[in-house]
């Protein structure tokens, strides 16, 4: 994914409707009028993704207190997301994007450099979508450890 394909503050957040870990449809439009953290992660129950999801869960009350919804999106199938939630007692909404259509629309899927190896996959990314549906903050190539604390400190 080239820099020019990435979302920036002021861009309209791409719409989506995805299935959550309970088999229900969830749309970005469901959160109209409210700020939303949308974060993309490569794979449920892997070390970095678990760190990030658990950190969002540990600080969930802070986001909820600020009226900010938190949506985690990965290409995992619904059953893996359900297991991830159950295994880790997660509070954040987990959404499945097996087609990777939403990942691509948000610039969160493409070529990436992992430890010097170029591959194609999910680019760990986090966005703050404003109540007006515009991107307020965008960060690509997120490092999972400490990320949620940085989001709370710098974006909230």
- What is the domain-level CATH number for residue 68? 3.40.30.10
Number of domains in the chain: 1
| Per-residue pLDDT, 121 | 92
Taking the complete model, does pTM exceed 0.85, yes or no? yes
- Residue 77 inside a domain? The answer is yes
Residue 4 pLDDT > 60, yes or no? no
Instruction: Decide if pLDDT at 2 tops 50.
Output: no
Grade residue 5 by pLDDT with cuts at 50, 70 and 90.
confident
Residue 24 lies in a domain: yes
111: pLDDT strictly greater than 60 = yes
In a domain, 19, yes or no: yes
SS (H, E, C) the chain: CCHHHCCCCCCECCCCEEEECCCCEEEHHHHCCCEEEEEECCCCCCHHHHHHHHHHHHCHHHHHHCCEEEEEEECCCHHHHHHHHHHHCCCCEEEECCCCHHHHHCCCEEEEEECCEEEEEECCEEEEECCCCEEEEEEECCCCCCHHHHHHHHHC
Q: What residues are annotated to the active site? A: 49
Assigned domain for 3 exists = no
Q: Which domain holds residue 74?
A: 8-155
| Rounded average pLDDT over 99-112 | 94
Decide: 144 and 49 in contact? Cβ < 8 Å.
Answer: yes
Q: How confident is the model at residue 101 (pLDDT cuts 50, 70, 90)?
A: very high
């Amino acid at each position: 994914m080239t820099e020019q394909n990435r979302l920036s503050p002021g861009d309209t957040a791409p719409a989506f409707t995805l299935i959550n870990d309970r088999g229900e449809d969830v749309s970005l439009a469901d959160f109209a009028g409210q700020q939303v953290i949308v974060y993309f992660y490569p794979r449920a129950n892997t070390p970095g993704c678990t760190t990030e999801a658990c950190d969002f869960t540990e600080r969930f009350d802070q986001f909820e207190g600020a009226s900010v919804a938190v949506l985690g999106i990965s290409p995992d199938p619904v059953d893996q997301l359900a297991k991830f939630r159950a295994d880790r007692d997660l509070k954040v909404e987990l959404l499945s994007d097996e087609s990777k259509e939403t990942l691509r629309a948000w610039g969160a899927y493409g070529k990436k450099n992992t430890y010097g190896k170029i591959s194609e996959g999910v680019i760990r990314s986090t966005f703050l979508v404003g109540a007006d549906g515009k991107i307020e903050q965008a960060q690509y190539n997120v490092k999972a450890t400490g990320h949620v604390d940085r989001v709370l400190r710098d974006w909230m």
